[in-house]
Amino acid sequence: MRKVLITGATSGFGKLLVDAFLQNGDYVIATGRNIHSRKEIFEDERLKYKDHFQEIDLDVTNPDQVILAADSVFKKFGSLDILINNAGYGLFGALEDLEKEEIRYQMEVNFFGTVDVTCAFLPMLRKSRGKIFNFSSVFGFMGFPLTSLYCASKYAIEGLTESLRAELAPHGVQVCLIEPGGYRTNFGKNLSWSQKNPDSIYRLQMKNYRELHEKVSKKKPQEPNEVSKGLLKLSLKTKLPMRKVYGKDGLFSYILKNYIPERMYFFIMDNFLKIVLLRKAS
């Protein structure tokens, strides 16, 4: 039975991944912030899969909890087959409008959280010649205005993961980037929009960006199951690809960014963004 640990399992992709791997017959270690006091989230799983399922409190920014989680998995199993670094959130806003603490916290959760959890579990992953899946995003290969810190955190994940690919290969551990487009999880609800300064010179851009975001969110949502089921399928492959892009919007963005000359890409994007973000109310 494969042992699978998922961070940020309390919502969205994380919760769907728990269910997908349990249904596949794997042993799932669901981790999340205060997971033990949020009993309702995994009520069904606890009943149905009691011998295959465990919950561990793990805020990825809490180094003590990271160590405790790794110790507890080591004592129980001695090894881990799959680590899914999924925990994350988005901080949106103009760089100048962001508070220093917000900036640092975005990197703490999305980047250093992944680094710390990976370091703690690597000895166990090496033992089983396991697999690591790191959640990036379309924003991990495409910079976007008013999203710079979220993009930076995901670009950092891309650099980390691409580098670890060859570093860990001789030790039998494979790594893979998961790059979803827009899916309706709780990501939108949990977004942190920084707009504390009412006189910000970015207020028109922010207003238009939020409107664009709301408009896109109202469109027929892509089914987040696509990502959880896709990742489960991927985990069963002998050899992992470097990256897997999900969603029509994801693929479109990937092609736009990677298959047309850079000057043309920026010409298209600059003009599109000028029209959309600098539009004045009529």
Ligand X SMILES: NC(=O)c1ccc[n+]([C@@H]2O[C@H](COP(=O)([O-])OP(=O)(O)OC[C@H]3O[C@@H](n4cnc5c(N)ncnc54)[C@H](OP(=O)(O)O)[C@@H]3O)[C@@H](O)[C@H]2O)c1
Catalytic positions, written as ranges: 136, 150, 154
Residues between 179 and 198 with contacts to ligand X, criterion CB under 6 A? 180, 182-183, 185-187, 190
- Residue 208 binding ligand X, by CB under 6 A: no
Alpha carbon distance 65, 62 (integer Å): 5
- Residue 66 binding ligand X, by CB under 6 A: no
Structure tokens at 138: 């379309």
Structure tokens at 96: 């100048």
Q: Which residues pair with 85 in a beta bridge?
A: 134
In the bound state with ligand X, the residue whose beta carbon lies nearer, of 58 and 98, is 58
In the bound state with ligand X, the residue whose beta carbon lies nearer, of 32 and 130, is 32
CA distances to 75, 109, 137, 164, 196 from 99, in Å: 41, 16, 23, 31, 9
In the bound state with ligand X, the residue whose beta carbon lies nearer, of 12 and 130, is 12
The C-alpha angle 246, 56, 102, rounded to 5 degrees, equals 60
Q: How many residues does the chain have?
A: 282
In the bound state with ligand X, the residue whose beta carbon lies nearer, of 38 and 126, is 38
Under 8 Å between Cβ of 234 and 240:
yes
Place of tokens 């205005």: 145
Smallest gap from Cβ 18 to ligand X, in A, equals 10
- Residue 60 binding ligand X, by CB under 6 A: yes
Smallest gap from Cβ 211 to ligand X, in A, equals 18
Note the maximum CA span of the chain: 64
| In the complex, residue closest to ligand X by CB | 12
- In 3D space, the residue among 223, 191, 197 whose CA is nearest the CA of residue 210 turns out to be 191
Q: Site for ligand X (CB under 6 A): how many residues? A: 27
Residues between 12 and 51 with contacts to ligand X, criterion CB under 6 A? 12-14, 32-33
Amino acid at 224: P
Binding string, 77-96, against ligand X, x = CB under 6 A? Answer: ---------xxxx-------
DSSP codes, 226-237:
HHHHHHHHHHTS
- Residue 61 binding ligand X, by CB under 6 A: yes
Alpha carbon distance 56, 72 (integer Å): 9
Select from 9-17, 22-30, 68-76, 159-167 the region that touches ligand X (CB under 6 A).
Answer: 9-17
In the bound state with ligand X, the residue whose beta carbon lies nearer, of 93 and 180, is 180
- Residue 254 binding ligand X, by CB under 6 A: no
Q: By the criterion CB under 6 A, which residues form the site for ligand X? A: 7-8, 10-14, 32-33, 59-61, 86-89, 109, 113, 135, 137, 180, 182-183, 185-187, 190
